[in-house]
A and B are shown apart, each in its own frame.
Chain A
């Protein structure tokens, strides 16, 4: 064992000093020969004879040197460097081929590595917490399948009950789910700017195992109703707004006019928005008290909890259910609590998971096409290199040695491609992680890391072996004679060879077909989504947060502020309408009871409706059609009759077959329905609206925030400036950071879908290009092989048209087989896409017809060029080629 190791050390050392050792050996053998000659002379031979005899007895000097080297050094590495040198020489001779191969492998590996990094971040890598596998998400099961936040969140007392009585969890923590993006106006440092604050329970960070990098987390005292105001900053805010000032701890900052002490700064690795509210930034955190007061706010909490060791998710689910229903029985005044537990990782990435798996499969298919394409090209090259290979084997290269040489070539190509791919992946992941406003969780932390690098190396090796193997095994074996003859005749590598190449092209087409079908279905869905009647018109409207500041103390003052703000906004020239709302569509959502007055309901029957607090002019500014009745007016004030506007769905549900105008709803102390408006998709473009109702902003205090919606033909920036100028007298601290076109809400809502569609579409396009190149290469190769045959045909009277038709026919046969297989496979696999489709059946005939058309056209173009070339063959030239 020890001596073996020593031998390997000696071998490695010998490998690096090969030429010196060769010299020594040479000298040793020379003196050996001399001594032998001396002795022969002593025995009485003539000097010439003596030398000859010595050399004969010593045997073939070069062979023994070769053996000596093999034993002494590392013959494997020797061969490898030899192969590499040879490869580089061949590739330099065929630079166009090498560049093309490296380019497509690069694009393929770049795409794979980027997608792998995303998948790794979102699905494989554990969340950045202590023991992330035991952290669970405790949601309320949405009643009636609605996806609004009120239905999914939990009332404070339930959380306290589970904390007191449950044995499944070592700790429960929560955040206030109805925090508003941009709710916090930070005053003092520079221009006022809107930030996002999330109230969290006192133990939120310690439960997750997130340690502040500066300061401490909240104390129990700070998390009481009248506790001292404390704030923890996110790393991003600390960096941008406070330039990483370590002295920030203990200082007071002014949030919305109230002073709050900074007690801690969170680490960079913890990005709340990234996890819980993809596409948004959360800037600081305040403590959320768990008290009677907050309990009265209803369903407000999103709970995260840590399972006790050894407790399964199912056991925790069962226990929480029991506690939930027992408590609801004891306290009928509370909202219901039907818990639904899931692992936090599942909650975070669950919705995007099918799309990611799809992208991963797609990128795998792309790689297969890349491999098939390169296999094909290498086979074509192999055919033209047959003579060279035959000569090499005539000179003594064994078949394994030739196969190794060929594989070295493809591995060099794939490694060079991988280097290019890695560069592309660096750029790709950077671009992805800096995408703003894409509502995909964890996207911000996508980057190339160790696993991505390992993935790239493995991908490069697999790719190289995969596309190199078939051509390598196809090098001519012992039947040297035949292959020399065959190559010479130019009538090609025979039927077997052509068959393999056809199979490769057919599979390329079939794979491309599947990608095009998948992309087609998703694009079709995307168009359907964009086509959805949202119920409002996002184009040519902007929104801006204009919460009344703390100087407007009474409801009367605030109402006057609203009236004045609307008056000023509508007077800007070019503005055709303005209105206020507390909840913009496609953002946060809450539901209230919306029972008909005088009717009694059991708890489960009680109708719920999405509620928005709006002003007069809102419907017009948003482009929501007023179907019946009237809009709110400035005279709908607290003292007058409480009024309400409902959407068509609520009107239909509450008063089927009756006129809803003048009917009464229990909401807001009893309100009279004065109008009916069209349904608005408030949750997502893909989801039906459900019941909605609108309360006049002047008759309630229950609005957390106020946005103004302004409809105007002016560009966003210009209308923003005019708004700021005109509102300055009544809102001097107005921050413009929340100004956005209404369209951007829609864009953000469809951003995950657009993300997937763009990537998949790109893959499909790349696959199509590769497949068409594959068709082109095979057909034009076969044309060049058949030049003579075509020449004879033309000499015998075949017209150019017939020749063209026959070549095109060959192309279309290949394409037809590929498309048939591809369509079949797509049909079978499309079912797996169902969860990603919208308004489109997975067997959507239109999409499949379009795919068929696209592929046929692409195949026809790819086949037409060689067909044209074939038809222009001059029979005389072709026949003389012999």
Chain B
């Protein structure tokens, strides 16, 4: 299945979605995508298709929950919010990410030894 092909990217997208929802509260899919793009100074383009795949996966794991509501412009939209389990998972993933990025940072600082 497609999931495995871009595991790392997916993992990071999961993390970003969870963190954004924790920080910003309930958001619909479009708002979520926009927010992540803005935070990344538009350098990180989130494909609209990918975001929904990520969302359904997180819903299925019960890390986020979804309810129908109305958007600012009074459009019908699904609002996603983080659950208790999601917050727990976010803590775990954050710690993981920091550890790995720390290691990678150190590895990148290696200088050639002559």
A residues bordering B, Cβ < 8 Å? 3, 6-7, 10-11, 14, 24-25, 27-29, 31-32, 34-36, 38-39, 57-60, 63-64, 67-68, 70-72, 75
How many B residues touch A, CB cutoff 8 Å?
A: 28
Is A28 a contact of B77 with CB atoms below 8 Å?
A: yes
- If A31-B75, A35-B71, A70-B1 touch, whether A10 touches B53 (CB-CB below 8 Å) is no
Is B53 a contact of A31 with CB atoms below 8 Å?
A: no
Chain A residues with CB below 8 A from B57, complex form: 7, 71
Chain B residues with CB below 8 A from A24, complex form: 78
B49 at the interface (CB under 8 A from A): yes
B36 at the interface (CB under 8 A from A): no
A60's closest neighbor in chain B, by CB?
A: B49
B27-64 contact mask (Cβ, 8 Å, vs A): 1 or 0? 01111001000000000000111001100110111110
- Please, how many angstroms separate the alpha-carbon atoms of A32 and B34 in the complex? 11
Is B56 a contact of A31 with CB atoms below 8 Å?
A: no
B76 at the interface (CB under 8 A from A): yes
Write the nearest CB–CB distance from B71 to chain A, whole angstroms: 7
B residues bordering A, Cβ < 8 Å? 1-3, 28-31, 34, 47-49, 52-53, 56-57, 59-63, 71, 73, 75-78, 85, 89
Is A68 a contact of B77 with CB atoms below 8 Å?
A: no
Is B60 a contact of A10 with CB atoms below 8 Å?
A: yes
Is A59 a contact of B47 with CB atoms below 8 Å?
A: yes
Closest 10 CB pairs of A and B: A64-B49, A10-B60, A58-B48, A35-B30, A3-B61, A7-B60, A32-B30, A31-B75, A31-B77, A59-B49
Residue from A10, A25, A34 in contact with B52 in the complex, judged by beta carbons closer than 8 Å: A25
B48's closest neighbor in chain A, by CB?
A: A58
Question: Told that A3-B63, A59-B49, A71-B3 touch, could you supply 12 new A-B pairs with CB distance under 8 A?
Answer: A6-B61, A6-B62, A7-B57, A31-B71, A32-B30, A34-B75, A35-B31, A36-B48, A38-B73, A59-B48, A67-B2, A70-B1
Chain B residues with CB below 8 A from A68, complex form: 49, 52-53, 56
Residue from A3, A11, A28, A64 in contact with B78 in the complex, judged by beta carbons closer than 8 Å: A28
Chain A residues with CB below 8 A from B3, complex form: 71
Is B73 a contact of A3 with CB atoms below 8 Å?
A: no
Is A64 a contact of B61 with CB atoms below 8 Å?
A: no
Residue from A3, A39, A57, A75 in contact with B62 in the complex, judged by beta carbons closer than 8 Å: A3
Question: How many residue-residue contacts, CB under 8 A, span A and B?
Answer: 76
- Please, how many angstroms separate the alpha-carbon atoms of A71 and B89 in the complex? 20
Chain B residues with CB below 8 A from A28, complex form: 29, 52, 77-78
Chain A residues with CB below 8 A from B28, complex form: 31, 35
Chain B residues with CB below 8 A from A36, complex form: 30, 48
Write the nearest CB–CB distance from A1 to chain B, whole angstroms: 12
- Please, how many angstroms separate the alpha-carbon atoms of A27 and B77 in the complex? 8
Write the nearest CB–CB distance from A30 to chain B, whole angstroms: 9
- Please, how many angstroms separate the alpha-carbon atoms of A68 and B1 in the complex? 12
Is A63 a contact of B49 with CB atoms below 8 Å?
A: yes
- If A28-B78, A35-B30 touch, whether A11 touches B60 (CB-CB below 8 Å) is yes
24 contacts between A and B (CB under 8 A): A3-B61, A10-B59, A11-B60, A27-B76, A28-B52, A28-B77, A31-B30, A31-B71, A31-B77, A32-B30, A32-B77, A35-B31, A35-B73, A36-B48, A58-B49, A59-B47, A59-B48, A63-B49, A64-B48, A67-B49, A67-B53, A71-B1, A71-B57, A72-B56
- Please, how many angstroms separate the alpha-carbon atoms of A70 and B60 in the complex? 13
Is B2 a contact of A57 with CB atoms below 8 Å?
A: no
Write the nearest CB–CB distance from A398 to chain B, whole angstroms: 15
A25's closest neighbor in chain B, by CB?
A: B52
Write the nearest CB–CB distance from A14 to chain B, whole angstroms: 8
Chain A residues with CB below 8 A from B59, complex form: 10
Chain B residues with CB below 8 A from A10, complex form: 59-60
Chain A residues with CB below 8 A from B2, complex form: 67, 70-71
Central interface residue in B3, B61, B71, B89, by most chain A CB within 10 Å: B61
Chain B residues with CB below 8 A from A39, complex form: 34
B76's closest neighbor in chain A, by CB?
A: A31
Write the nearest CB–CB distance from B81 to chain A, whole angstroms: 16
- Please, how many angstroms separate the alpha-carbon atoms of A7 and B89 in the complex? 15
- Please, how many angstroms separate the alpha-carbon atoms of A3 and B60 in the complex? 8
Write the nearest CB–CB distance from A291 to chain B, whole angstroms: 81
Chain A residues with CB below 8 A from B78, complex form: 24, 28
Write the nearest CB–CB distance from B7 to chain A, whole angstroms: 14
B62's closest neighbor in chain A, by CB?
A: A6
A54's closest neighbor in chain B, by CB?
A: B48
Chain B residues with CB below 8 A from A71, complex form: 1-3, 53, 56-57
Chain A residues with CB below 8 A from B47, complex form: 59
Chain A residues with CB below 8 A from B49, complex form: 58-60, 63-64, 67-68
Is B53 a contact of A7 with CB atoms below 8 Å?
A: no
Central interface residue in A11, A14, A31, A57, by most chain B CB within 10 Å: A31
- Please, how many angstroms separate the alpha-carbon atoms of A34 and B3 in the complex? 28
Is A57 a contact of B53 with CB atoms below 8 Å?
A: no
- Please, how many angstroms separate the alpha-carbon atoms of A374 and B21 in the complex? 59
- Please, how many angstroms separate the alpha-carbon atoms of A6 and B60 in the complex? 7
Write the nearest CB–CB distance from A444 to chain B, whole angstroms: 55
- If A35-B71, A35-B73, A70-B2 touch, whether A29 touches B52 (CB-CB below 8 Å) is yes
A35's closest neighbor in chain B, by CB?
A: B30
